[in-house]
Structure formats: structure tokens, C-alpha cells
Amino acid sequence: MHHLLLTNIKQLCQVETGEIYKNRVSGADMKQLPSIENAWLYIEEGKIHSFGRMDDVQPVPATDVIDVSDKLVLPAWVDSHTHLVFACSREKEFVDRINGLSYEEIARRGGGILNSAARLNEMDENELYEQSLKRLHEVIAQGTGAIEIKSGYGLTLDGELKMLRVIRKLKENSPIPIKASFLAAHTYPTDYKDNHDGYLNLIINTMLPLVASEGLADYMDVFCEQGFFSVDETSRLLEAGWKYGLKPKIHANQLHYSGGVEIGVKHNAISVDHLECVGEPEIEVLKGSNTIPTLLPGAAFFLGMHYQPARKMIDGGLPVCLATDYNPGSCPSGNVPLLLTLACTQLKMTPEEAINAVTINGAAALELTDEIGSIAVGKKANLIITKPMPSPAYIPYDYGNNPVEKMVLNGVVS
């Protein structure tokens, strides 16, 4: 059996020493990134067994010892919101936006999500799987150690099932935990443009029972937005999801003050995601809830929109989470280190806050804090060994570059 000991770790970041794992980090506590300098870490059977300071190193039956002098060790990132399974890139729309069209205008003309759905429905399941697996390996190499992936580019029964089966196959074959969200309510397909009830009925009465009976999804997602799914439609869908045990994680308040935050909280959403359009009332609603606000600044960056009010949320005591939103339209990048840079430079989060947001709070947004998100005894050994660097702040500072030297996945160095 493989028993790995890491020694001379310059800084072991995001350690937890309490008996009970933290289930999130909120408000002012997000400024703290508990760390041990000059540390060791011992892994047995893929799990974190013990750790401490080098001057207090315990004898352990290691089969492998790696000296990581000058390097940091962190828990791998948890990317809690992605659309990593998709069939084609959309750089034409990127150019259309440069030339003055808006994201919403492109969508109204049948581009956007509908464009992705047309391509995905044509693509063979194996081809879709192979392309998606490649992307998954790329983001793992940039430090991602757990991920959520959505459906929502099918918009037909067959297309949605195809996407969810691809996600299931990724789950079965990938070295990292994956959660799946069912997002048939991503946009109205052309055939149902003027028949919203027809599409809602298709989702609720046909798709959901099949998705649930095959165990294909962990969460229910809806793009709650003007021009997409209204608050009332979202409400119907989330209620139906709950009946099948699918908890809500929804797209809310990306393009407008659309009431998405309130309806998500009302339905006990695990998280409400995007939040470009959030003010005091939405923040107040979030404060009185268990729902995690997940910010996706990569989409705001790529669409040239204003950024999420992260400071107000953190200063208001909320457990802010960050995720990439990796998708071919609004954010064609699953690069978490770059996301950290955006969080620091544009959202004015400190590096410690940003790292908390993609580790413990990312795990919380996927209900995985028992397994990942921090360096704690018994948690899965999915870790980042960085290149030599002075401190965690260097990760967002050194922007555009990959901080990862090696990943440890289930205790195995790759």
C-alpha cells in the first residue's frame, strides 16, 4: 500500500485541527487561512492521516517520502459550478460581442445556449465524453480536485440524458469527486418558445422522473433570469426537483435583479450562483439563510459586465464561494488560479478570502466538507503541491501562470 510522507513543506495551508470539520467559513473569518510553516504531512490509503511541524515529526511507516522544500501544500480547489460537458466552442459569438452585440441579443437570435444545444444533440456520446474528459484533465492540472458539472445543453430528453450519462461516466472514471446538476431549464428550446408550460411539463413529468430513477443528478438547477425562466417558473421547477430529492443550486441574478436570490433561498437552495446583480435586499435575504452565495467573476470578466459585490457580502458576514462557471459561452475557462486573480483584483477579496472561497466554501457548496476542502485528518488526500513560491498570495499575484507543480489525488502523486 502507498503511504506518502511530505516533508519540509514551506507552508501547509488551510489546516483544520478541530474534532469537527468546519462546514463553511463566513464573513471576517474568511481573512484567516490557518497554516503551519515548515510542516510535514502523512497520507495513508488515500486519506490525510496526520500532519504537524517539522520540529515535531512523528515516526510513520511511509513507503514514499517527498521533500517539498520551498513549496506550499494546499487542499485542491473545489470548483462548484461548471458546464464542462459541451460540444463546441463559440468564438464566433465572442467576436460578435466585440462588434457590439450583447449576450442577451445573441441568445435571442438563436445563438448562445441554443447554439450549444444544437451541436450537442448532434454529437455522439463517446465523442462528447472524450472531449469532456480532456477538459477535466486540464483543470485538474491547474489544481482542481473536485468539481460540479451541469447538464443544460441538451434541452431534449435524449440530449439531457446523454449529457448526464457523460457526467456519470466521468464520475466513474475520474480521480476526483464529481457532482451533477440537472439544468434542462437552461433556456426554452425553439419548439417551446411560445409554449412554456409544454417545456415545464416535459421537464417535470418526463425528464425528472427518468433522471431521478437512473440516479443521474445530485442537484436541480434553473437559469432564473429575464428572458429565460421567470421566478414563478423557477419555483415550480424547484418544487418538482425537491419531490425527487434533488436540492436546488441555481443560476440567479446574473443579468438583472431578477428575484432569483429570493426564490432560491425560499426553496432552501444549497447555493445561488452568479450574483452580478445583487444589492442590499438580496444580501439581507442571504444573511437569514443557509444558502451559499457563489460568485462567478469569470463570466462577468468575459462578458464585460460589472462584478459581484463580494466586499459587501463578506463584510456583511456571508460565506462567499467562488467558482469558474467553465462553459463555452460566458466563460470558456476552468482555470481556478486565474479566477483567484480576478477575485483579488476585481472583487477586492484578499488572497486568503479567495482561497477560502474555493476550498472550504466550494466544498460546502457541494455538500462535500466531510471529504475535501481542507487539510484535516480523515479527509481525502486531494492536494496541490505548488511550484517554489514565497506565500499563498503569490498564487493570484503570479497571474496567468499555473502555480501547480504536482497534484496529489487520492494520496497518489501525479
Torsion, Cα 162 154 77 135, to 10 degrees, reads: 70
Q: 3-class SS at 306? A: coil
Q: Integer distance in angstroms from the first to the last C-alpha of the chain? A: 16
329 binds, among Fe ion, ligand NIG, none (CB under 5 to 8 A by kind): ligand NIG
Question: Looking at 82, 132, 327, 374, which residue binds ligand NIG (CB under 6 A)?
Answer: 327
Site membership for ligand NIG, residue 35 (CB under 6 A): no
246 secondary structure, DSSP code: -
Site membership for ligand NIG, residue 82 (CB under 6 A): no
Q: 3-class SS at 370? A: coil
Question: Looking at 329, 337, 392, 396, which residue binds ligand NIG (CB under 6 A)?
Answer: 329
Site membership for ligand NIG, residue 249 (CB under 6 A): no
Site membership for ligand NIG, residue 116 (CB under 6 A): yes
- Cβ proximity to ligand NIG: between 12 and 167 the closer is 167
Site membership for ligand NIG, residue 299 (CB under 6 A): yes
Cβ neighbours of residue 148 closer than 8 Å, sequence gap 6 or more: 79, 80, 81, 82, 178, 179, 180, 181, 219, 249, 323, 365, 366
- Cβ proximity to ligand NIG: between 73 and 178 the closer is 178
71 binds, among Fe ion, ligand NIG, none (CB under 5 to 8 A by kind): none
Site membership for ligand NIG, residue 71 (CB under 6 A): no
Question: Looking at 113, 120, 222, 322, which residue binds ligand NIG (CB under 6 A)?
Answer: 113
- Cβ proximity to ligand NIG: between 148 and 352 the closer is 148
- Cβ proximity to Fe ion: between 233 and 273 the closer is 273
Site membership for ligand NIG, residue 254 (CB under 6 A): yes
Cβ neighbours of residue 138 closer than 8 Å, sequence gap 6 or more: 334
352 sits in which H/E element = helix 351-358
Question: Looking at 77, 182, 223, 229, which residue binds ligand NIG (CB under 6 A)?
Answer: 223
- Cβ proximity to Fe ion: between 325 and 353 the closer is 325
- Give min distance, CB of 185 to Fe ion, in A: 12
- Cβ proximity to Fe ion: between 233 and 325 the closer is 325
Distance CA 35, CA 406 (A): 20
Q: Minimal CA–CA distance to 176: which of 351, 386, 393, 371? A: 371
Question: Looking at 325, 344, 360, 392, which residue binds ligand NIG (CB under 6 A)?
Answer: 325
- Asked if residues 85 and 321 have their Cβ atoms less than 8 Å apart, the reply is no
Cβ-count burial of 1 within 10 angstroms (0-12 exposed, 13-18 middle, 19+ buried)? exposed
Cβ neighbours of residue 110 closer than 8 Å, sequence gap 6 or more: 190
- Give min distance, CB of 56 to Fe ion, in A: 45
Site membership for ligand NIG, residue 302 (CB under 6 A): no
Query: Near ligand NIG by CB under 6 A, which window of 237-245, 261-269, 321-329, 362-370?
Result: 321-329
- Cβ proximity to ligand NIG: between 83 and 379 the closer is 83
Q: 3-class SS at 388? A: strand
Q: What is the contact surface with Fe ion in residues (CB under 5 A)?
A: 325
Site membership for ligand NIG, residue 148 (CB under 6 A): no
- Cβ proximity to ligand NIG: between 93 and 282 the closer is 93
Grid cell in block for residue 215: 440516479
Cβ-count burial of 374 within 10 angstroms (0-12 exposed, 13-18 middle, 19+ buried)? buried
Q: Where are the alpha helices (DSSP H) in 270-325?
A: 280-287, 297-303, 310-315
Q: Which residues bind ligand NIG (CB under 6 A)?
A: 83, 112-113, 116, 223, 251, 254, 299, 325, 327-330
